[in-house]
Amino acid sequence: MSAEQKTLLTTWLVKQRRAGVTVPVINEDVLAELDKLTPMKMSARVDAAMLALAKALPKVNQRLRFDQRERDERLIAETASEDLKISPLY
């Protein structure tokens, strides 16, 4: 599976979870549909990042830290990114 296909699959999983599917099932049909999907546009990725940050930071004055791997991985998944190389924003 190519890096782009993995990213598209992750995007599909995120959309399934947002739709309320707690355990999305990946089968041959889903994998076949990956070639029909398109990567997220940059504007959609920025929107997804802001929504993920808003969910992670319930208070406006809360300090933002990216030192927790789970939060890093969630942000990467939500924004259809491929890399874990995120520098701290504090």
Summarised one tens digit per residue, pLDDT across range 46-61 is: 898 888 877 777 677 7
What SS3 class is residue 60?
A: coil
Query: What is the model's pTM?
Result: 0.69
Pick from 29, 32, 38: nearest CA to 8: 38
Cα separation, 45 vs 54, in Å, equals: 14
Q: Is the pLDDT of residue 15 over 70?
A: yes
Sign of dihedral through CA atoms 81, 86, 43, 59? Answer: positive
| Residue of 29 and 86 predicted with greater confidence | 29
